[in-house]
């Protein structure tokens, strides 16, 4: 039994049937971490002894036929997320000694459901950027190709799940930070509607943008983790959060999908465009109604960057003012970038957020579609060493991440649920992904559509036996 590649759903079932113990599952994942992590640097902080105590408790519960939906399942959480009594550096030397006394609500719900948290995963400093490198933790590698980035800021989470270091990892998405690693690592990444998954207590930065969400190797696993964190009863597929009227038994031909390959402005590499178009043809062939349209907006990177880094300046400037020598160069530049915005700039960005929200609602009303499907990113994972950001501080020059992540910001600005789903490999034999976006509050509808599309696409790269034999970077990663 290759525990490293079992899904969370499979592993939870095997534990309940007593086919293995929680301690055995944990030890298998720890052994895998010890073998694999030195090459990819996905783990920021091992919590093995803490996890062994949790696994022992899980085994006691399972022996009595008790426990929650994740009892005994080993998972990781991002280094930006709080666990009481556990260091939370958030990728920064300036927070190297910070130990929160409370646990983030979403993390607490995972532990209450029985999850065994065995490590915290790497992230860039303050989780500001879309690659995972910092002066504190170093650089995290993509398991598909160690010379490439796994994305960020939840890059350690993505690399861990892609390498079989547990079936689930909790990420945080303030500007694509779950969906970027999902796309670059061939995973499912789900950003819930804003506010559906509770976060506090947490760091104050980007409180109006960030949603905590799962990285997984299947939609079913992502759904399970999401439902636990959102406080729904996992397995009750017809219970709904407010404003969600999804029916998971809906046949594919019974709903419309509006599709846009570039939203009218986003650059796409040729192979990404071709993979997206081919996927849309497959969906049509399976009976989906594909309507080609778009919200009619330009790039939202400017309101996103204004919101994100004006907020960062207010929330994190004390680190720059008190201990600038402990911060990395990119962090200092981004904080300086945020300090340059005036109140009028920030207010204009908030007005733009509501305009974006209305434009998407009008798109769905106009087309009768339930979801919008786009590429997740415009390229495959790129190599380490790319300057991040390449230029900054001139508001007439948009930050460079618009070139490959322009599909992502609207979901954060308007609070929409969005799911990244792998669809195949590009010209460089690296994953390519599409994004499914729905109305605010219709998280389960987005996941239901994602699960239908996953069945049709049937991308084999997500399956453990192929991922384990896929010779990622020339190295067999299965234990």
Burial of 233 (0-12, 13-18, 19+ CB in 10 A): exposed
53 contacts: CB under 8 Å, gap ≥ 6: none
Cα separation, 417 vs 9, whole angstroms: 22
- Annotated active-site residue 120? The verdict is no
- Collapsed DSSP state (helix, strand, coil) of residue 215: strand
Dist CA 318 CA 456 (whole Å): 50
β-pairing, 256-259 vs 371-375, is: parallel
Q: Which of 416, 408, 454 is nearest to 435 (CA)?
A: 408
User: Where in 2-55 does DSSP place strands (E)?
Assistant: 43-46
Q: Within 13 A of 441's CA, how many CA atoms are on the CB side?
A: 9
CA angle 12, 16, 20 (to 5 degrees): 85
- Do the Cβ atoms of 340 and 365 come closer than 8 Å? no
241 near 229, Cβ under 8 Å? no
Catalytic residue among 153, 260, 300, 433: 153
In 3D space, the residue among 161, 159, 224, 285 whose CA is nearest the CA of residue 451 turns out to be 224
Let me know if 191 is a catalytic residue. Answer: no
Alpha-carbon gap, residue 448 to 238, rounded angstroms: 11
Q: Quick one: which of 119, 93, 132 has its CA closest to 37?
A: 119
Distance CA 70, CA 29 (A): 16
Task: Please state, in angstroms and rounded to a whole number, the distance separating the CA atoms of residues 104 and 204.
Answer: 12
Tracing tokens 């980035």 back to the chain, one arrives at 149
Q: Which of 54, 80, 134, 177 is catalytic?
A: 177
Q: Report d(CA 438, CA 442) in Å as an integer.
A: 6
For the question of residue 153 being annotated catalytic, the response is yes
> Which of 7, 54, 78, 299 does the annotation list as catalytic?
78
DSSP string over 219-264: HHHHHHHHHHHHT--TT-TT---TT----TT--GGGSEEEE-SSTT
Residues involved in catalysis: 78, 153, 177
């Amino acid at each position: 039994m290759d525990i490293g590649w079992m899904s969370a759903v499979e592993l939870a079932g095997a534990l309940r049937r007593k086919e293995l113990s929680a301690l055995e599952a944990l030890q298998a994942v720890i052994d895998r971490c010890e073998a694999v992590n030195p090459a990819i640097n996905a783990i920021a902080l091992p919590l093995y002894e803490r996890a062994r105590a949790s696994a022992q408790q899980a085994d006691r519960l399972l022996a009595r036929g008790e426990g929650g939906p994740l009892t005994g399942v080993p998972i990781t959480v991002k280094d930006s997320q709080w666990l009481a009594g556990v260091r939370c550096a958030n990728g920064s030397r300036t927070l190297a000694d910070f130990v929160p006394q409370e646990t983030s609500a979403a993390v607490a719900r995972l532990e209450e459901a029985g999850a065994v948290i065995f490590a915290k995963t790497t992230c860039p400093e303050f989780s500001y950027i879309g690659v995972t490198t910092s002066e504190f933790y170093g650089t995290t590698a993509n398991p598909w190709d160690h010379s490439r980035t796994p994305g960020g800021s939840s890059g350690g989470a993505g690399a861990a799940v892609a390498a079989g270091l547990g079936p689930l990892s909790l990420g945080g998405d303030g500007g694509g930070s779950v969906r970027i690693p999902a796309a670059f690592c061939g995973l499912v990444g789900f950003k819930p509607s804003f506010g559906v998954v509770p976060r506090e207590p947490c760091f104050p930065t980007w409180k109006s943008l960030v949603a905590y969400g799962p990285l997984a190797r299947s939609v079913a696993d992502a759904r399970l983790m999401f439902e636990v964190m959102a406080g729904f009863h996992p397995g009750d597929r017809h219970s709904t959060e407010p404003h969600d009227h999804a029916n998971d038994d809906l046949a594919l031909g019974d709903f419309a999908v509006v599709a846009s390959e570039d939203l009218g402005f986003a650059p796409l590499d040729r192979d990404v465009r071709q993979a997206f178009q081919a996927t849309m043809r497959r969906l049509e062939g399976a009976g989906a109604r594909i309507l080609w349209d778009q919200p009619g907006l330009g790039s939202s990177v400017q309101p996103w960057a204004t919101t994100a880094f004006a907020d960062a300046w207010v929330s994190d400037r004390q680190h720059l003012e008190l201990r600038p020598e402990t911060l990395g160069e990119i962090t200092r530049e981004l904080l300086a970038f945020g300090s340059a915005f005036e109140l009028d700039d920030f207010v204009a960005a908030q007005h733009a957020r509501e305009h974006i929200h209305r434009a998407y609602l009008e798109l769905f009303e106009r087309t009768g579609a339930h979801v919008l499907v786009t590429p997740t990113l415009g390229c495959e994972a790129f190599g380490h060493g790319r300057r991040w950001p390449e230029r900054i501080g001139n508001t007439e020059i948009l930050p460079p991440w618009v070139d490959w992540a322009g599909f992502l910001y609207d979901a954060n600005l308007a609070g929409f649920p969005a799911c990244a789903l792998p669809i195949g490999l590009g010209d460089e034999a690296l994953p390519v992904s599409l994004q499914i976006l729905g109305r605010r509050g219709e998280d389960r509808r987005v996941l239901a559509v994602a699960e239908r599309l996953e069945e049709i696409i049937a991308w084999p790269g997500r399956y453990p036996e192929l991922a384990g034999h896929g010779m990622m970077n020339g190295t067999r990663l299965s234990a």
